[in-house]
Amino acid sequence: MSKKVTIESTAEAYLELLAARGVEYFFGNAGTDFAPLIEAYARRFAHGQTLPRPLTVPHEIVAVSMAHGYAMITGRAQAVMLHVIVGTANGVGGVINAARSNVPMLFSAGRNPITESGFRGSRNRQIHWAQESFDQGAMVREFVKWDYELRNFPQLETVVDRALAIAQAEPQGPVYLTLPREVLAERHDTFEYTDQARQIAPSATVADPRAIEDVARVLAAATNPIVITKAMGRDPQAVPALVKLAETLGCGVVEGYATYLNFPRRHPLHAGYDPDPYLDDADVILVIESDAPWFPQIKGPKTETRVIQMGVDPLFSRYPIRGFPGDLSLAGQPRLTLAALTDALVPLLDRGDVAARRQTWEAEHRRRQDAWAAVAKKASTAKPIEMSWLSRVIGEQIDDHTIVVNEYDLDATQVPLDKPGTYFNSPPSSALGWGLGAALGAKLAAPDHTVICPVGDGSYIFGAPTAAHFVSRAYELPVLFIVFNNQTWNAVKRSTQGYAKDGWAVKTDTMPLTYLEPAPDYEMICQASGGHGERVEDPAALPDAVKRGLRIVRDERRQVLLNVICRKP
């Protein structure tokens, strides 16, 4: 069936179609190219039409990261629009994050007016000459699944439906649509479109049954199989499927450099976050949705170890180089493939072997839990505050209605999360500034949940905090932001230490370009937008500060920032 509505412009038809296709939010960082859309919104508001709801986001990295955060909670692509080439350029880091995280997004920008005169949307500002490029999509083409420029009004439905379908198709990711002002400004009286999209993402796939049987035989014959996973938890439904496989096989599961919660952390088969201690003894490794399961420069499995790669794109075909072995490969949705693999394994396994393996892994799990608890206890009185103690204090306040959006410094060993879809870590591409916006997007998607956003001080600066705190206040999105303030870009420092262990930088403790001193009073930035901010230096005061912050977020519905002064690395 089709629907026919009264409109005044292509811009209004575009908004009508987005709303009809279930796009709830329009994250906008506006420029002169937005004029037709702003006029269209005004008309829609006058007629009681509010969707997709426009959100003013005063910095591009926050806008793109909010769309990312909303989609990672809901699984639904949202629209984000920036200002021609300059806005696109500012948002590219966020697009790279979405691409490498397989997060769907309708990323768009105005297209500088093409014509110098003669059309309603022709150039009428001095910037309209300097802001044109030969190929606007070129700057993002490597990191989007599809890009296109809307050419005319009749193709609008096809273009939007195709964009959304491709973004949602696996492997999911951002698409880029440019919208010329002349096209958006064209006058029309009516718009007719189908009430249901005629282009949709393909259904979920499962690996070939014969390939699954081959993998089942290899796993069943293994003496010491392990699982390494990083991003499988992007689909929360895959987590219980992995639990069932691990219990059936009696193997440990390592969340190597996890970007999602992939396995309940208190489960006795959870084997921590570093695969290196287990690589020597493993005879079969099942790698699930992990672009870099280990670092060959540092350590890898034995050459005779069988490696099985599993994921929607187990080759990570958008990565220029990735040499990890895959003796067997299972392509498809992990939740479906894991279920089929578990069924295939059951008749092949020796129950005694499974029980013995499980007993070994459960003992290892207890040993690790005790060791991590000892680390936190030792750190609980240290001044300046140790990050392990700060992480432990946060972990003790988390419940099943808490979502953690972490950019870098939260120590996962101290945060015993078990519920899928409650933990999100920095994207593997690590374009800094993701955390603040992603946390706001998560809160928008899950208003009944408490959102905690731990960030490093460098990440906080990158996240355009003035813009982020503005959005939190303007749209009533209270988040507890916790700055792990060690006055250092520790990732850069660690990289230098690993590169030249006995070099001049280490010997002289001289690390130029890594210091973030003197540190700003970050809490005051939050206060400037009506939030509660405080500086915390005493480890004994930390638990009460976190509890106080959570109370303000939950009861007063105000954002909070804790500027926690941590030990310099």
> Average pLDDT in the 415-422 region?
96
> Average pLDDT in the 554-558 region?
98
Nearest CA among 306, 270, 277, 311 for reference residue 292? 311
pLDDT reading at 526 higher than 90: yes
pLDDT band at 413 (very low <50, low <70, confident <90, very high): very high
> Average pLDDT in the 278-292 region?
98
pLDDT digits (tens, 9 = 90+) for 31-78: 999 999 999 999 999 999 999 999 999 999 999 999 999 999 999 999
Same fold, 2-194 and 209-366: yes
pLDDT reading at 491 higher than 90: no
pLDDT reading at 515 higher than 90: no
pLDDT reading at 489 higher than 90: no
pLDDT digits (tens, 9 = 90+) for 444-478: 999 999 999 999 999 999 999 999 999 999 999 99
> Average pLDDT in the 527-536 region?
98
In the sheet where 450-456 sits, what is the strand order?
Answer: 423-424, 402-405, 450-456, 480-485, 560-565, 532-536
Q: Which residues pair with 328 in a beta bridge?
A: 308
Q: What is the mean pLDDT of the chain?
A: 97
pLDDT band at 507 (very low <50, low <70, confident <90, very high): confident
Residue 291 has a pLDDT of 98
What is the topology classification, in CATH, of domain 209-366? Rossmann fold (3.40.50)
Distance between CA atoms of 352 and 356, rounded to whole angstroms? 6
Nearest CA among 119, 69, 161 for reference residue 442? 69
pLDDT digits (tens, 9 = 90+) for 258-272: 999 999 999 999 999
> Average pLDDT in the 413-439 region?
97
Residue 58 has a pLDDT of 98
pLDDT reading at 146 higher than 90: yes
Residue 513 has a pLDDT of 86
CATH classification of 2-194, choosing from 3.90.245.10, 3.30.70.3270, 3.30.70.20, 3.40.50.970? 3.40.50.970
Q: Which residues pair with 40 in a beta bridge?
A: none
Residue 367 has a pLDDT of 97
Q: Which residues pair with 108 in a beta bridge?
A: 81, 177
Distance between CA atoms of 513 and 525, rounded to whole angstroms? 24
pLDDT reading at 510 higher than 90: no
Is the full-model pTM beyond 0.85?
yes
> Average pLDDT in the 230-243 region?
98
Residue 102 has a pLDDT of 98
pLDDT reading at 375 higher than 90: yes
> Average pLDDT in the 501-511 region?
88
Architecture of the domain delimited by 380-565: 3-Layer(aba) Sandwich (3.40)
**Other beta carbons within 10 Å of 281:** 12
pLDDT band at 497 (very low <50, low <70, confident <90, very high): confident
pLDDT reading at 254 higher than 90: yes
Distance between CA atoms of 350 and 362, rounded to whole angstroms? 18
Segments making up each domain of the chain, as ranges: 2-194, 209-366, 380-565
